[in-house]
């Protein structure tokens, strides 16, 4: 909604202006004016950007990666171009995974995703501790005071970043648990899916109907021996030449739903290109969505600049994956690097009034 977008823009503006007020030197100053807890988002690595450029080129999209400015412009244009296309979800996901994660720190490098030289989190002190710290810093600044213990602020910033990561992991884990619990009743049913991830140990497939994701172990495929092609995000049959590639439409059967492990296991019942072979499945006992209890899966669709967690799968877009579970737990990347989850509310203690030093 336009109203939501307007509020979001005002929040971004407030965060930016507070960071500039506290940290941006005036024309006659050489150093920053005051300690600040920044929200920074570093520039992406050249290797990951090159890998993304090579991948999207296969879909006919071009990226200019000659400079930081042209790379930023190309990313923004890419997201506009893929909007509404069948490959949009896949390309947006890979673009997010090519980004570093935004963190809190007192050392400013700017926010690459938003294109701001100065940025902080100021607007949500009731749910993020870094915002509380910034409020206190702003109050001290307005009162003509300073806070000199920048090392303490840096330690609290690191702690907040770590707690944010843990909160995101807990959120993903709980969502995965409820998805697997929901899918227990559909073991043996068939669904249309899209290949959402390709790793050296198997293929992830996301069900189109409900966005639940499971894994297919390629070592269990009996029709051929499949070779992992990392550069092209696909598996190729050694004898039959069959290809399973990222973004392919397939039909799967739910083989197992393990709530304890939060894992869904699928098997193929149709090869790649299922979007073109509807007739082959007119007689298949595909599940009827109208006979199912309603499943609600809430996904936060934050703007691209705020999504920065790398995905869990091993690929050249993400080297730090932790979700290498052979049973298909996606693990996922944080969808909102702009602040969902936030820091530990109890990490700073209470401030003391008067002339005594405040606890941060």
pLDDT of residue 273: 54
Distance (Å, rounded) from C-alpha 315 to C-alpha 200? Answer: 8
Is the confidence at residue 285, as pLDDT, over 70?
A: no
Average pLDDT over residues 42-57: 89
What distance, in Å, lies between the first and last C-alpha atoms of the chain?
Answer: 37
Give the burial class of 214: count Cβ atoms within 10 A of its Cβ; 0-12 exposed, 13-18 middle, 19 or more buried. Answer: buried
User: For the chain, what percent of residues have pLDDT higher than 70?
Assistant: 74
Domains and CATH numbers, the chain: 14-176 (no CATH), 185-306 (2.40.50.140)
pLDDT band at 334 (very low <50, low <70, confident <90, very high): very low
Is the confidence at residue 207, as pLDDT, over 90?
A: yes
pLDDT of residue 322: 40
Is the confidence at residue 252, as pLDDT, over 90?
A: yes
Looking up tokens 């806070």, which residue turns up? Answer: 147
Query: Between residues 139 and 323, which one has the greater pLDDT?
Result: 139
Query: Between residues 231 and 224, which one has the greater pLDDT?
Result: 224
Closest CA to 307 of 129, 14, 62, 79: 79
Is the confidence at residue 186, as pLDDT, over 70?
A: yes
Is the confidence at residue 310, as pLDDT, over 50?
A: no
Of 29-33, 98-102, 134-138, 303-307, minimum mean pLDDT range: 303-307
Cα Rg for the chain, rounded, in angstroms?
A: 23
pLDDT of residue 31: 67
């Amino acid at each position: 909604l336009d109203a939501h977008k307007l509020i979001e823009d005002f929040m971004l503006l407030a965060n930016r202006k507070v960071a500039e007020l506290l940290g941006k030197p005036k024309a006659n100053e050489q150093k920053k004016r005051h300690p600040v807890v920044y929200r920074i988002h570093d520039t992406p690595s050249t290797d990951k950007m090159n890998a993304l450029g090579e991948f999207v080129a296969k879909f006919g999209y071009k990226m200019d990666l000659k400079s930081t400015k042209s790379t930023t412009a190309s990313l923004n244009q890419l997201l506009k171009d893929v909007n509404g296309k069948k490959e949009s979800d896949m390309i947006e996901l890979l673009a997010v995974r090519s980004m570093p994660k935004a963190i809190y720190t007192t050392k400013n490098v700017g926010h690459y995703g938003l294109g701001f030289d100065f940025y902080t989190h100021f607007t949500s002190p009731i749910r993020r501790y870094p915002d509380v710290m910034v409020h206190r810093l702003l109050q001290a600044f307005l009162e003509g005071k300073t806070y000199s213990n920048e090392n303490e602020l840096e330690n609290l910033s690191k702690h907040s970043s770590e707690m944010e990561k843990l909160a995101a992991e807990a959120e993903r884990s709980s969502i995965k648990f409820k998805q697997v619990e929901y899918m227990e009743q559909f073991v043996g049913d068939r669904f249309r899916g899209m290949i959402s991830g390709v790793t050296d140990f198997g293929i992830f497939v996301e069900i189109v109907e409900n966005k639940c994701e499971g894994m297919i172990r390629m070592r269990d495929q009996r029709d051929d021996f499949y070779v992992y092609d990392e550069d092209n995000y696909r598996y190729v049959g050694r004898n039959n030449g069959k290809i399973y590639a990222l973004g392919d439409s397939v039909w799967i059967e739910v083989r197992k739903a393990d709530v304890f492990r939060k894992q869904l296991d699928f098997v193929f019942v149709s090869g790649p290109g299922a979007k073109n072979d509807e007739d082959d499945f007119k007689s298949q006992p595909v599940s009827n969505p109208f006979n199912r209890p309603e499943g609600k899966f809430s996904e936060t669709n934050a703007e691209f600049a705020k999504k920065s967690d790398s995905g869990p799968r091993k690929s050249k877009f993400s080297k730090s994956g932790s979700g290498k579970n052979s049973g298909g737990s996606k693990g996922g990347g944080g969808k909102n690097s702009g602040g969902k989850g936030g820091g530990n509310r109890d990490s700073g203690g209470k401030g003391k009034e008067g002339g005594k030093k405040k606890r941060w």
